Structure 1
Amino acid sequence: MSVDVTLEIDLGDEAATIALGSQLAKLIESGAVFYLHGDLGAGKTTLTRGIVQGLGHQGNVKSPTYTLVEPYELGEVSIYHFDLYRLGDPEELEFMGIRDYFAPHAVCIVEWPEKGAGVIPTADMDIDLAYHGAGRRAVLRPHTERGKQLTEAISRYA
């Protein structure tokens, strides 16, 4: 299901990218799946940092490029940050029990989701990050009712 509520947000700098992630975090009521798209250095991990810290994590947020997943257990919230850039075959995800991570109340953030096509579930929202002038532009595209609600809510703050 594609929900027609695409939202474009200009991000002037790293702080604006973190702020967008933090704002998304405040709006998550019960889990979400985000797919992050963009070139290397476009801000995918920076946006993830905003979401993870916005949900209460106090430490560093690093890209799990070599481990594939970085878990954050924050009380009742489980966050899983996936970076599939180095994934050779989507079937590898089955061996690591990927489906167990995508519980209804978990927040799953997936960088390079196309590498896991056919194995990982549909995103609530795709977020495309691209260079735009001196900053970045984020394009939010919801695919579920949950994604639509998040996009509509974030549009009030953008």
Structure 2
Amino acid sequence: MEFIIDTVQKTFELGKKIGKMAKPSDIFCLTGDLGTGKTHITKGIAKGLGINENITSPTFNIVNEYHSGRLTLYHFDVYRVSEPDEIEAIGFDEYIFGDGVSVIEWANYIEELIPNEYVHINISKMPEISENHRKITIKYFGDKYSYLKELEKC
């Protein structure tokens, strides 16, 4: 699925739709250059989960936990992870195979740790149109994520 988005608010709204549909143990892997909107889509996912806390990128913590929604959100930012062992040391498997929803920014940095079933969300800039335009591509791997087909109707 591809979406052409031209505002931060629309990125947030797409994330919110995803969050409303998300199920326990879902894994959303976000990729894209700096400043494309990975944290904005994560904020939307959090809102869709019913989380009203201020969502910030956990750049220096690796993971932030938000427990106030219908499902717990585990928000990872692995930009500064230099070795996959670093993320394994914090109990990564316990997070992603638990009952919460995991959102992993810069997931391409730890590809070897990502399970076979996950959702890949890539956000890319579209400077040929404008500095605000983004192409958001969503691919899912595993039948458990077939519910995301509903996004095509939005």
Q: Same fold (TM over 0.5)?
A: yes
Structure 1, gaps ≥5 residues long: 1-6
Match of 2:150 in 1: 153
Q: What is the distance in 1 between the residues matched to 2:6 and 2:70?
A: 33
Residue 114, structure 1, aligned to residue 108, structure 2: yes
Moved beyond 6 Å, runs of 4+: none
Q: What is the distance in 1 between the residues matched to 2:74 and 2:97?
A: 10
Match of 1:38 in 2: 32
CA change 1:17–1:123 in 2 (3 A) is farther
Matched letter for residue 84 of structure 2 = P
- Asked if the contact 1:83–1:111 (Cα under 8 Å) also holds between the matched residues in 2, the reply is yes
Q: 1:75 Cα shift?
A: 5.2
Deviations 1:116-140 (A, max 9, x none): 2322323521011011222111001
Aligned-residue identity in percent = 31
Q: What is the distance in 2 between the residues matched to 1:54 and 1:26?
A: 4
Q: 1:29 Cα shift?
A: 3.5
TM-score by length of 1: 0.88
Counterpart secondary structure, 2:115: coil
Q: 1:78 Cα shift?
A: 1.2
Q: 1:131 aligns with which of 125, 128, 137?
A: 125
- Asked if the contact 2:19–2:45 (Cα under 8 Å) also holds between the matched residues in 1, the reply is yes
Matched letter for residue 65 of structure 1 = T
Deviations 1:21-68 (A, max 9, x none): 001111124341100010000000000000001211112110001100
Match of 2:18 in 1: 24
Question: Which has the larger share of helix?
Answer: 2
Q: What is the distance in 2 between the residues matched to 1:32 and 1:60?
A: 21
Counterpart secondary structure, 2:17: helix
Equivalences for residues 92-103 of structure 1 within 5 A: 92-103=86-97
TM-score by length of 2: 0.90
Structure 2, gaps ≥5 residues long: none
Match of 2:138 in 1: 140
Q: Mean Cα displacement is larger for which, 7-16 or 67-76?
A: 67-76
Q: What is the distance in 2 between the residues matched to 1:138 and 1:76?
A: 25
Counterpart secondary structure, 1:118: helix
When the two chains are superposed, the root-mean-square deviation of aligned CA atoms in Å is 1.5
- Asked if the contact 1:32–1:107 (Cα under 8 Å) also holds between the matched residues in 2, the reply is yes
